[in-house]
Amino acid sequence: MNSGKKHPDATISLQTWFHDVEHATWNNPADIKAVFRNASIVANNRVVFNIKGNQYRLVIVVVYQHGVVYIRFVGTHAEYDQIDVTTI
């Protein structure tokens, strides 16, 4: 995870999120919501997380059948507003 260089104040929050996700088993969006209640489930298997007290957004793609998570975006809310979360 390389976002620590661009957003060093988010490093610990991102590492905590990563640790939690690394040990998770998600079979569907409900499994994510059971642990991360504030996560937003969006189209194309994208999930948006609020990081560091909602100062940053993290977007992932989940491939449920393989148990794989791809990080697609980490940035501020202003940076998030510039992307299309369903296609990034």
Whole-number Å distance between alpha carbons of 7 and 39? 20
Distance of CA 62 to the CA centre of its chain: 10
Is 48 in contact with 58 (CB distance < 8 Å)? yes
- Global confidence as pTM: 0.88
Domains in the chain: how many in total?
A: 1
The confidence score (pLDDT) of residue 62 equals: 96
Confidence class of residue 1 from pLDDT cuts 50, 70 and 90?
very low
Q: Check which CATH number belongs to the domain holding 70 and give it.
A: 3.30.2310
In a domain? residue 86? no
Residue ranges making up the domain that contains 57: 3-80
In a domain? residue 85? no
The tens digit of pLDDT for each residue in 2-17 reads 455 677 888 999 999 9
In a domain? residue 88? no
In a domain? residue 87? no
Is 47 in contact with 40 (CB distance < 8 Å)? yes
Query: Tokens for 31?
Result: 């499994």
In a domain? residue 68? yes
In a domain? residue 59? yes
